[in-house]
Structure formats: C-alpha cells, structure tokens
Amino acid sequence: MTAPLLQVDDLVVSYNGFRAIDGMSLALDAGEIRVLIGPNGAGKSTICDAIIGRAPVTSGRIMFKGEDITRLSEHAIVGRGVCRKFQAPGILPTLTVAENLAIAARRDRRWWRNLRLAVPPGEAERVDAMLERIGLADRRDVVAGELAHGEKQWLEIGMVVCTDAELLLLDEPTAGMGPAETARTADLVRSLAGRHTVMVIDHDMAFVEQLAARVTVMHQGKLLKDGSVAEIRADAEVAAVYLGRTKHDAAA
C-alpha cells in the first residue's frame, strides 16, 4: 500500500496555553484534492501554517513524502515541494500578469536574478501554458494591480502551480467571487488533480460540491468528520456546529 504524500499525526499547536490545533490527524494521497472546512476559529488556516512551517508545532508530527518536516523552516519546506496560496492574493501589483508567473516559474529563486535575467525558453513556455490555463492569456501584459478581484485570485493560483510544487495549499480561493467565477475556479482546481495534490480551505459549500472531493471537517482544532460531501451534509453533528442547523433539524 502506497504511503500518503502528506501525513499529519496528532498535531498540537498551542499559543500561550490555547490549543489552536488540538490533536489533529489527516492524510492526503498523491494526486488527490481534499477540502478542509469548519467554522471560524476551527484551526483550518493554522494547520496550513503548521504544514508550511509558519506556525511552531507544540507536539505531533508532519510527514511529507516520508520525511519528517515538522520543524523545518518555511524556506526548506517550500524547497521540498509545498506551496501555499493565502486568502488575500499575494501578487506583485506593479508587474504584469506574465511577469508574476515568470517569477513563480523561475528555478533560480534568488530575487535579484529573477528580476534581471531573461526568462529561459522552457520557463517561458510554462508561463504561456499557464496563462491559457487560468484564462488570462489576453491579459498577459496588464499590470497585475489593475486586474479584477477574481482575476487576481486566478493569477495567484497560477503562480502557485508554476512553482511545480507537489502539494498545493489553497486558502479560500473563491473569497469575494460570484457564482460564475466560483464555477470557473472549481474547474481550474479540479484540473490540478493528478499532477498535484491539493488541499483547499473554503466556506462556500456550493464550491465544495463542485470540487466533488473528499471533505475533512474541523471543529475547535480537532477532526470532526471526514467523508464525501453527501456524508458531510447528512451528518447531524456537522449540521449543529458548522451548517447552522440543530441536530433535530438535521434528523427531520
């Protein structure tokens, strides 16, 4: 049996005695999409912070490709093939769409070289392909700060994918989007499965349903439920703590 790409075992992250993550465990197989949901304060972003090396782990273990990365630096973890998109787009607003993607695609990560040297042909081809994939080919020369909100989200997803990381952590990629943009984002995220493993944090259940992926529900820093969207929707405890219904309503 193949080992998971990512394995989180009994993870605890404490801040001044408060357990933001309280014994959380999960596993992601290579090539899968996993959706992480839960009420505000459940610990969703904190567990991503721990995986990427931004949050100090109190106890427990994080394994990536069979290696213990629990206490590695963020730089070292990114170098091993993990990349995160935060809720607010982290684009470079004064550069063009294509230039943002080109910097993300660079294999030489030293910024002073990235900004001065021409983009190698192989990386330029990846930029062109990504522009098509995220639907911004006709916006390649537009300064990124002038993009609409949804376009900025797609650009940053493209930047994360251009790093060629094996594990992509996407924090609320549909925040601020309308239904049409959300559906387009779901298509984009689904297209990443196979070549990449993707963990998505989102509150929009319509978007979650469109991803048709396994769902992990967190509550108070712990695992509450794991299953398909249908199983999650039918679970009375999830309805009580996350979907805003009582257990009696869920059973009715």
Q: How many domains does the chain have?
A: 2
Instruction: Name the 3-class secondary structure at 145.
Output: helix
What is the average per-residue pLDDT within 218-246?
Answer: 86
What's the mean pLDDT when you consider all of the chain? 89
Q: Do 43 and 108 belong together in one domain?
A: no
pLDDT reported for residue 108: 57
Q: Do 44 and 129 belong together in one domain?
A: no
What is the average per-residue pLDDT within 145-162?
Answer: 94
Write down how long the chain is. Answer: 252
Task: Count the alpha carbons within 13 Å of 1 in the hemisphere toward its beta carbon.
Answer: 3
- Among 104, 121, 146, which residue terminates a domain? 146
User: Is 193 inside any structural domain?
Assistant: yes
What is the average per-residue pLDDT within 100-119?
Answer: 65
CATH number at residue 232: 3.40.50.300
Closest residue by Cα to residue 161 from 209, 115, 194: 194
pLDDT reported for residue 176: 87
Our CA angle for 159, 215, 74, nearest 5°, is 40
Q: Do 62 and 107 belong together in one domain?
A: no
Asked whether residue 213 carries a pLDDT value surpassing 50, the answer given is yes
Q: How big is the chain by its Cα radius of gyration, in Å?
A: 19
Q: Do 135 and 244 belong together in one domain?
A: no
Q: What is the pLDDT of residues 1-14, one digit of tens each?
A: 688 999 999 999 99
What is the average per-residue pLDDT within 218-231?
Answer: 94
pLDDT reported for residue 217: 95
Q: What is the pLDDT of residues 57-97, one digit of tens each?
A: 999 999 999 999 999 999 999 999 999 987 666 789 999 99
In this structure, what token pair is assigned to residue 222? 């712990």
User: Is 1 inside any structural domain?
Assistant: no
What is the average per-residue pLDDT within 36-43?
Answer: 91
pLDDT classification of 251: cutoffs 50, 70, 90: very low
- Among 146, 169, 186, which residue terminates a domain? 146
Q: Are 226 and 218 in contact (CB under 8 A)?
A: no
- Among 111, 129, 146, which residue terminates a domain? 146
Show the domain range for 244: 6-91+147-251
Q: Do 124 and 226 belong together in one domain?
A: no
User: Is 65 inside any structural domain?
Assistant: yes
Q: Say what percent of the chain tops pLDDT 90.
A: 74
Instruction: Name the 3-class secondary structure at 59.
Output: strand
Q: Do 46 and 83 belong together in one domain?
A: yes
Q: Do 105 and 138 belong together in one domain?
A: yes
User: Is 208 inside any structural domain?
Assistant: yes
Residue 24 backbone phi and psi in degrees, to 5: -80, 135
Query: For 114-139, what is the HEC assignment?
Result: HCCCCCCHHHHHHHHHHHHHCCCHHH
In this structure, what token pair is assigned to residue 105? 């695609």
Q: Do 114 and 177 belong together in one domain?
A: no
CA-to-CA distance for 146 and 160, rounded, in angstroms?
Answer: 20
Q: Considering all CA atoms of the chain, what is the largest pairwise distance in Å, rounded to the nearest integer? A: 64
User: Is 63 inside any structural domain?
Assistant: yes
Segment among 16-20, 58-62, 196-200 with least mean pLDDT? 16-20
Q: Which residue has the higher pLDDT, 111 or 240?
A: 240
Q: Do 32 and 70 belong together in one domain?
A: yes
Which residues, 6 or more positions from 204, have their beta carbon under 8 angstroms from its beta carbon?
A: 174, 182
Q: Do 96 and 212 belong together in one domain?
A: no
User: Is 247 inside any structural domain?
Assistant: yes
Q: Do 17 and 78 belong together in one domain?
A: yes
User: Is 183 inside any structural domain?
Assistant: yes
pLDDT classification of 159: cutoffs 50, 70, 90: very high
pLDDT reported for residue 107: 64
CA-to-CA distance for 204 and 202, rounded, in angstroms?
Answer: 6
User: Is 22 inside any structural domain?
Assistant: yes
**DSSP, residue by residue, 94-105:** TSBHHHHHHHHH
pLDDT reported for residue 249: 46
Task: Count the alpha carbons within 13 Å of 142 in the hemisphere toward its beta carbon.
Answer: 15
pLDDT classification of 112: cutoffs 50, 70, 90: very low
Q: Do 123 and 225 belong together in one domain?
A: no
Segment among 84-98, 113-127, 188-202 with least mean pLDDT? 113-127
Asked whether residue 197 carries a pLDDT value surpassing 60, the answer given is yes
What is the average per-residue pLDDT within 124-138?
Answer: 93
